[in-house]
Structure 1
């Protein structure tokens, strides 16, 4: 196959998938592994992770690792054909979702995704969690499905993430108008005992307990002005 023909076939994917294409998508389009390897050697593509390639002319975003990991969950299916809640795929979640939302400073280079059924990954840099998400639990960031700020906070609480880290994420999420503090207080109650708050189901008490670790209160945070929408 001519290089120009192969590049044209692959551009149907890279133009709509953040500059990325999987080896299975390439094969389905008629570009075999030998040709893909030749394109890589010629400098047209870089291998991002096993089975995922990026066009060298594509803009590299901070979400590239998450994009590549998400594509590999259902490697043959084009991104534009996948529903928000994909039975064979997943959603960026937990610390990875917090990072994409620009919340907190959790230190973990692994990409975390939540899938509707139990799955495993051979990639040590990918962690798969299992949970049934609702549409209200998911948003999109540049076309990539990501758990909402609220769901992300709940997931991190469920993992017993350090209280001060969670408090910072909560503060930044409220200030960015990604979550309402009254809604948060209603939803986080089930995690109170995990953080030593001896008032089961009291989300308000847990919220005050967490925010106290960074020197603020829920009342103070609730008074912060909502930023103007762009």
Structure 2
């Protein structure tokens, strides 16, 4: 195929796919390995990962590693044909979902994707989780299917992620309106014991624990907790002793903590 024709073909493939095209897509469109090599040598496409090229002068897309990993799950199918549950191939999840949503500061040393059936990958920087995901737990972010903020929290807890990191994700999700506090409390009901809380701890207690682990508190939780502290101190120390105890409590708390 002539070079200008080959470039036109790969450009068409990459238009709605972040400027990227896979080797499998290019070959299905009629290009040969020789055609791709010539385009690469001419500087018209740039290799950005195994079996994936960036076309022309397109800017390097955000979250490139996540997109590369997701494209490789079904390299022959264009991204725009993978926006239905039966064609997702996998849903970006866990720490990678946090990255796409802009939630918390969960360490993301590898791309995490949840797939519906058992499969393996040889990609060293990719971890595949196997789980069923309801359609209501999936949203599209930057053209990628991603677990919702609430489902992401559940996945992180199931994976026993650090409580402080999960608390940061929750705080950001609530602040940004990506999660509902009551609904989220219900969804995290199975996990308090896993994180060392007593059997009597409610899901709301667990939510408070996670938020405090991240040194972040919601105003409504702050008020309730402050009242609980006051009631407990007065009960233990009596009225005059209670006031002194509360003052001591305030003195030892850092200013940013509040009460």
What is the TM-score with the length of structure 2 in the denominator? 0.81
Moved more, 146-155 or 86-95: 86-95
Q: Counterpart in 2 of 1:155?
A: 155
Contact 1:10 1:26 in 2 (8 A): yes
Alignment RMSD: 1.8
Shift of 1:62: 2.1
Q: Counterpart in 2 of 1:138?
A: 138
SS in 1 for 2:37: helix
Structure holding more helix per residue: 2
Unaligned runs of 5+ in 1: 224-230
Q: Counterpart in 2 of 1:228?
A: none
Task: After the TM superposition, list the runs of 4 or more consecutive aligned residues in structure 1 that deviate by more than 3 angstroms.
Answer: 215-223
Distance 1:220 1:56, change over 3 A: farther
Distance 1:5 1:151 in 2: 45
Q: Counterpart in 2 of 1:227?
A: none
Distance 1:28 1:200, change over 3 A: farther
1:55 aligns with 2:55: yes
Contact 1:191 1:201 in 2 (8 A): no
Q: Counterpart in 1 of 2:112?
A: 112
- Map of 1:31-42 to 2, 5 A cutoff? 31-42=31-42
Q: Which digits, 9 at most, give the CA deviation of each residue in 1:171-221, with x for residues without a partner?
A: 011000000111110110111111111237832121011112133445546
Shift of 1:93: 0.6
Unaligned runs of 5+ in 2: 224-259
Distance 1:192 1:90, change over 3 A: same
Shift of 1:87: 5.4
What is the TM-score with the length of structure 1 in the denominator? 0.91
1:64 aligns with 2:64: yes
1:25 aligns with 2:54: no
Distance 1:59 1:199 in 2: 52
How many residues are treated as equivalent by the alignment?
223
Distance 1:218 1:88 in 2: 35
Shift of 1:162: 0.5
Q: Which digits, 9 at most, give the CA deviation of each residue in 1:60-79, with x for residues without a partner?
A: 23222111111110111111
Shift of 1:54: 1.1
